[in-house]
Amino acid sequence: MQELNRHTATVKTYTERIIQFGEGNFLRAFANWMIHEMNKKANFDAGVVAVQPIDQGLIKMLNDQDGLYTLYLNGIKNGQAISEHEIIDCIQRGINPYENYIEYLANAENPDLRFVISNTTEAGIAYNPDDTLKDTPQSSYPGKLTALLYKRFQTFGGASDKGMIVIPCELIDKNGDNLKRIILKYAANWNLGDAFVEWINEDNIFCNTLVDRIVPGYPKDKMDAITKELGYKDNLVVEGEQFHLWVIEGPASVKEEIPAEVCGLNIVFTDNMEPYRTRKVRILNGAHTTLVPVGYLYGIDKVRESLEDDVVGGFLKDTIFKEICPTLDLSKEELDQFSNDVLDRFRNPYLEHALISISLNSTSKYKTRVLPSLLEYIKRKNELPNRLLFSLASLIAFYRGYRENEAITLKDDQFVLDFFASQWATGDIPRITKATLSNTDFWGTDLTQFDGLLNRVTNHLENIITNGMKQTLSTL
């Protein structure tokens, strides 16, 4: 069977305009797919040079396939469950700077280079005091990028039109700001000069981003069937869900250089990404956390099955649209669209998310993902959000450690497990509820201070324990 490469596949070649730190599954299923779409539909003509950011990686395998790989997108699209695939051809070549640093640094001399994209894990944007300009290469990603930018600055004499648009995808807050801060720190410590610092500040754009697409990665268990379907051998097949969202915070000029809108891509350009971050945490992550104890105690094991159940699915939809969305500041149209997308993602028949696996550290997750919606609802409406409080009561019931007569494997910080074990040993539900809601170590505030909240949660918890989750939720 033939192998996938540029001799066996009919693909295009593009101008190298993007240098990308990272060659893993996420970037190939996310950013590279979007670049591929813009190349096809908007003549973006953007080729990618993929740089291996750590000593071990996939660059050799990627080069063996001439940068090509097959992407499968599986999920709900336009209301239908769809699995589709195509060859992605935007990566022109890969470089391992640990084996060929000269080739890596030579990219700085390319006058067409305009964009930097990265995904070097959450730990990738970090300062390493041992890095020096003479290293070949520097150990950290910011160190490597500083060396490349300094070489570019020298090559083009600090020309303003040779600055870069830097778009990191690492999952840390203010990723662009943090990356720029570290680069400026290297510039100072390596004595690269005031002119270089001014060029970084004035002629390079560092964007903060929010990225969202579930990427299961290489489908090892299905590769025999996939290879048979494709008719060629591909060692870099990657799977992703249909949904995608890329929020890019930066000046308006960035949008003018990236033709996302004409391609129908869900890329949002903004000067303030915080409402979008809040929306994701409150709706997507908050819905997951709200669902887990309710669905699991109801007798359901998977997220998709929860949405397919009329009672549990109805509870979750009402929670999102009636109690979470009203606490957010984006337009109703945007919130409704995002919420419906989230529900479609939960229904994805190609992904199986176990509720019990999502239950890890549920107490801290409730604090960061759900409690802000609960408190904001009280502030805005001057009334209690009944469903969010029902989920809180369900969470307390979940930490009793039993689903009917079946023991639950609880996974959380030991102090959390010890607290609930000691409380449930009393069997006194009003006492358990009060102790939990007033535990400021859990919530950062005493929740019993809100009028009626303690009684509401206590009543819900008593009904769950006495009557069971199915009957209680059905009559909520």
What is the pLDDT, as a whole number, of residue 352? 85
Closest C-alpha among 69, 10, 86, 21 to residue 49: 21
Closest C-alpha among 209, 213, 325 to residue 268: 209
Going 41 to 109 to 66 to 234, the CA torsion angle's sign is: negative
Greatest distance between any 2 Cα atoms in the chain: 76
CA gap 304, 318 in Å, rounded: 17
Per this entry, what is the length of the chain?
476
Kindly report the number of other CB atoms within 10 A of residue 247's CB atom: 23
Long-range contact pairs involving 405-410 (C-beta distance under 8 Å, separation at least 24) = 408/296, 408/356, 409/356, 410/359
What is the pLDDT, as a whole number, of residue 176? 98
Q: Which two tokens stand for residue 386?
A: 């009944």
Task: Tell me the fold of 16-271.
Answer: Rossmann fold (3.40.50)
C-alpha pair distances (Å), 230 with each of 65, 71, 226, 227: 15, 11, 6, 5
CA gap 206, 46 in Å, rounded: 19
Architecture of the domain whose range is 274-475 = Orthogonal Bundle (1.10)
Measured at the CA of 284, the angle between CA 282 and CA 285, to 5 degrees, comes to 70
CA gap 145, 116 in Å, rounded: 9
**Which residues 6+ apart lie within 8 Å of 85 measured at CB?**
70, 71, 72, 73, 230
Q: Which two tokens stand for residue 415?
A: 């102090």
Does a cis peptide bond (omega within 30 degrees of 0) precede residue 137? Answer: yes
Helices (H) and strands (E) in the chain, counts: 23, 14
Closest C-alpha among 469, 449, 450, 452 to residue 461: 469
Enumerate the domain spans of the chain. Answer: 16-271, 274-475
What is the pLDDT, as a whole number, of residue 203? 98
Give the three-class secondary structure for 133: coil
What is the pLDDT, as a whole number, of residue 457? 98
Give the three-class secondary structure for 436: helix
What is the pLDDT, as a whole number, of residue 397? 98
CA gap 202, 205 in Å, rounded: 8
What is the pLDDT, as a whole number, of residue 288? 95
DSSP secondary structure code for residue 221 in this structure = G
Give this prediction's pTM. 0.93
What is the pLDDT, as a whole number, of residue 419? 98
pLDDT by residue, tens only, the chain of 476 residues: 999 999 999 999 999 999 999 999 999 999 999 999 999 999 999 999 999 999 999 999 999 999 999 999 999 998 999 999 999 999 999 999 999 999 999 999 999 999 999 999 878 999 999 999 999 999 999 999 999 999 999 999 999 999 999 999 999 999 999 999 999 999 999 999 999 999 999 999 999 999 999 999 999 999 999 999 999 999 999 999 999 999 999 999 999 999 999 999 999 999 999 999 999 999 999 999 999 999 999 999 999 999 999 999 999 999 999 999 999 999 999 999 999 999 999 999 998 889 999 999 999 999 999 999 999 999 999 999 999 999 999 999 999 999 999 999 999 999 999 999 999 999 999 999 999 999 999 999 999 999 999 999 999 999 999 999 999 999 99
Q: Which two tokens stand for residue 277?
A: 């971050």
Do the Cβ atoms of 341 and 243 come closer than 8 Å?
Answer: yes
Closest C-alpha among 445, 289, 459 to residue 386: 459
Give the three-class secondary structure for 189: helix
